[in-house]
Amino acid sequence: MRPHCNLITIGYDMDQTLSLRRAITALNRSGNAFCAWSGLDQEILVDPETARSASALLDSADAIFCHGLPDCRSAGLLAGLLSNRPDVPVIPVACSPEVVLLSARWGCFFTEALAPDSTESDDLCTLARLLRALHHPSPYNLETALRLLVWQLRPGSILEPPLPVAYPQIGFWHPDRGLHADWRAFQRARTSRFPATPSARILLLCHRSQIIGENDAHLRAAITALEARGIDVVPLFGDEYSFLNPDFLAGILSANLVVDASGQTPATFRNKAPATRCPVSLQWGDNPPVIVACINEVTGAIVPDHALVEHAAQEICHTLFRRRKSGSRKLLTFPHASGQ
């Protein structure tokens, strides 16, 4: 019988579970281990009826990943729900330090009865690798996290998992060039098929979670459509906080147009207005968002509509043409750029 792990997640939304779903599928298909997974939302922390219905499921957990607990009160409510299982590891993800201190339980990572060939420092190293994998949630890293759980829960049942990959928090990405934290390295990674003298350069703002989570089909389609029109597309990934930071946006490169594909427009956050998350839209200038894809409601995968992508690419070209015709040839300049 394969070594197994019964995983419960709390607070993961559809976008965040896509990578986890892919990781679990890859692990279970490998034949080396098996992970059973059930997802719960944070309603169990505030609704007594939902909590009662989930109690048996929580009691059966080998480990719990808890995403985005909002405050210390939520951490206390979670601790109450798990009072019957003081041994189960609870791993908080994307939480404040105060919430981590109140909600985290390291369980099998720090036990009084260590295996004969194990030490507490081994447990600490394994935990550090697990936390790194969860902090950089690509399908590969999440599969590594699951293997680390099985390796720790069932000592000797599988080979030691590889190290997780640390991805930059902000940087540049291209389907043909990979991820780069440095602008010069990104430039060196250009493919030979790219035009030597592009008609224009576009800075494409992308959300990091879609890049490392490999939920980027709409971005790949948009890049292909724009490059087919001779446009130099520079996809810049980060999150809403990095896009808000003028010091971050300054000093990167020069561009004729900034196209937001993150669903988190800098203007929206600057004005502190409620943000409408549009992970399947493109937006530029004063134009309203242009839908280019839809979300699979079962898996959370973003599925591009190629006709809509082509329409958006053509509209972007029209915007560039109108700017050029009006005499606005000046690039959007980020003054500290080097090696442009």
Cα–Cα dist 259/292, whole Å: 13
Residue 69: both structure tokens together: 């607990």
Query: What tens digit of pLDDT does each residue of 284-329 get?
Result: 888 888 889 988 877 888 999 999 999 999 999 999 988 877 765 5
Cα–Cα dist 290/186, whole Å: 28
Low-confidence ranges of the chain (pLDDT < 70): 108, 110-121, 191-197, 240-241, 243-253, 263-279, 327-340
Query: What tens digit of pLDDT does each residue of 37-56 get?
Result: 999 998 998 888 888 889 88
Check residue 251 and give its pLDDT.
54
Delineate the domains of the chain, giving CATH numbers in brackets: 4-153 (3.40.50.2300), 171-325 (no CATH)
Cα–Cα dist 240/206, whole Å: 10
Check residue 249 and give its pLDDT.
60
Check residue 139 and give its pLDDT.
95
Check residue 138 and give its pLDDT.
95
